[in-house]
Amino acid sequence: DEGVLKLVPPAVSRALADAGVEPSDVSSFCFPSTFPGLPAAVAKACGLPASSVRDTLGEKVGEAGAAHA
């Protein structure tokens, strides 16, 4: 999603900078999404290692969040 790729990377970069953590130091990145490939695209845009991306099970079980009223 184009909006996600515009908004999330700057926020992640700022959070990492504030915490004094380099993107290359991230070992696990879990981004909730039911869109295949989006977590990897977000990680790449954030400069995170491809090996840090974790499966969110979105493709297997769909959106598993709380029910909406």
pLDDT digit string (tens) for the chain, length 69 residues = 568 999 999 999 999 999 999 999 999 998 888 788 899 999 999 999 999 998 877 667 666 665 555
Residue 35 is encoded by which pair of tokens? Answer: 């869109």
pLDDT of residue 58: 67
45 within 8 A of 35, measured Cβ to Cβ: no
Q: What's the CA angle centered on 29, arms 65 and 25, to 5 degrees? A: 155
